[in-house]
Amino acid sequence: MVVLSQPILDNLAQIKTCKPTSNIFTGIPIVDLSDTNAKKHIVKACQDFGFFKVINHGVSMEFLTRLETEAVKFFKSPQQEKEKSGPPNPFGYGNKNIGPNGDVGWVEYLLFSTNPEFLSNNARPEIPGISETLWGLVNEYVCLVRNMACEVLEMIGDELKIGGKDKLSKMIRDEKSDSCFRLNHYPACPSSELLQALSGRSLIGFGEHTDPQLISVLRSNNTSGLQICLRDGTWVSVPPDHTTFFFNVGDSLQVMTNGRFRSVKHRVLADSLKPRVSMIYFGGPPLSEKITPLSSVMEEGEESLYKEFTWCEYKKSAYKTRLGDNRLGLFEKSTNQ
């Protein structure tokens, strides 16, 4: 029998719960990057779900396992040691607290900037708990995944007939691109099973939110937990697949397509038995970039649904919000304008 001792109860007390949904979603679009029709599938998936899975990506499993193993090694180190790499303001180690506004989840993580000054070995900041090996693997991983994200953004550019198909990919390739990388570790949480039995609710690992950037690329181990919210508001579980990458549309790409692509709401639930390890690259534009609908997507006479803003303005505003807030709502034009 699992006993809920006072420290465990105190620990869990801060963390939100949600009504569980056990719907395993088998309809997630799968994009084969080697398929000549990939760009059509990507655009459709971005419109219908804001989410898709990528296969035939060319990144070796051996490399992915090496990074995951090194990340697990970090998360297994003593709590006191890990704390030396935090708090994440905005980069470094964080435990349970997510962002600056009081969000809490059953998760610990490392947040990195992907700027060359942050990741390349001659200019890294002093973060004592992160081994040279982990720095090196993160740097290599970010390069590979950025290339993959660029390839996908170029296919989108091509399919949407944006003049110069690299208009989107240029933003994340730019030296000044404001992108980041996150390693998340969700420890197994045996008491979540009891919580479920007693209250019928699930413990939140990472609360519901949309990603503010253009595009996010997620890879996880084979532990479930990730859920996405469909257009009709139902939450569905994404079957994990450690051999593939999941892409999701961020708020900025929703704006640049004037709402045609969906910035998908997602969350992670804690697992009672298995730890989850995920790694996410968030491709963001340079701070000065104007986030505004691309002229090629607009019909004649169509107006932007959003006020004009730069990525810097949006990011500043996003960091004042709670995870689950409708961040983009503040930038929508009111309908009677």
Ligand X SMILES: O=C(O)CCC(=O)C(=O)O
Ligand Y SMILES: C=C1C[C@]23C[C@@]1(O)CC[C@H]2[C@@]12CC[C@H](O)[C@@](C)(C(=O)O1)[C@H]2[C@@H]3C(=O)O
Residue 43 or 215 with smaller CB distance to ligand Y: 215
Out of 182, 185, 262, 265, name the contact with ligand Y by CB under 6 A. 182
Q: Which amino acid is at 67?
A: L
- Single out the catalytic residue among 146, 219, 267, 276: 276
Binding status of residue 319 toward ligand Y by CB under 6 A: yes
Number of residues binding to ligand Y, judged by CB under 6 A:
16
Binding status of residue 211 toward ligand X by CB under 6 A: yes
Binding mask 195-214 for ligand Y (x = CB under 6 A): --------------x-xx--
DSSP state string for 259-296: TSS----EEEEPPSSS-EEEEEEEE--BTT-EE---GG
Stretch that binds ligand X, among 4-12, 69-77, 140-148, 218-226 (CB under 6 A): 218-226
CB 155 within 8 A of CB 38: yes
Residue 307: C-alpha distances to residues 13, 43, 258, 337 (Å)? 39, 24, 11, 11
How far is Cα 90 from Cα 112, in angstroms, rounded to an integer?
8
Q: Is 262 a catalytic residue?
A: no
Taking phi first (over 0 means left), then psi (-120 to 50 degrees means alpha), and beta for anything else, what does residue 96 get? left
Stretch that binds Fe ion, among 36-44, 127-135, 211-219, 304-312 (CB under 5 A): 211-219
Least gap, CB of 92 to ligand X (angstroms) = 15
Residue 74 or 195 with smaller CB distance to ligand Y: 74
49 closest CA partner among 262, 239, 253, 191: 262
Least gap, CB of 183 to ligand Y (angstroms) = 11
Binding status of residue 180 toward ligand X by CB under 6 A: no
DSSP state string for 37-101: THHHHHHHHHHHTSEEEEE-----HHHHHHHHHHHHHHHHS-HHHHHTT---SSSEEEEEEETTT
Report the interface residues with ligand Y, using CB under 6 A. Answer: 90, 98-99, 101, 103, 180, 182, 209, 211-212, 282, 318-319, 321-323
Q: List active site positions.
A: 276
Report the interface residues with Fe ion, using CB under 5 A. Answer: 211
Report the interface residues with ligand X, using CB under 6 A. Answer: 182, 184, 206, 211, 218, 220, 226, 266, 268, 278, 280
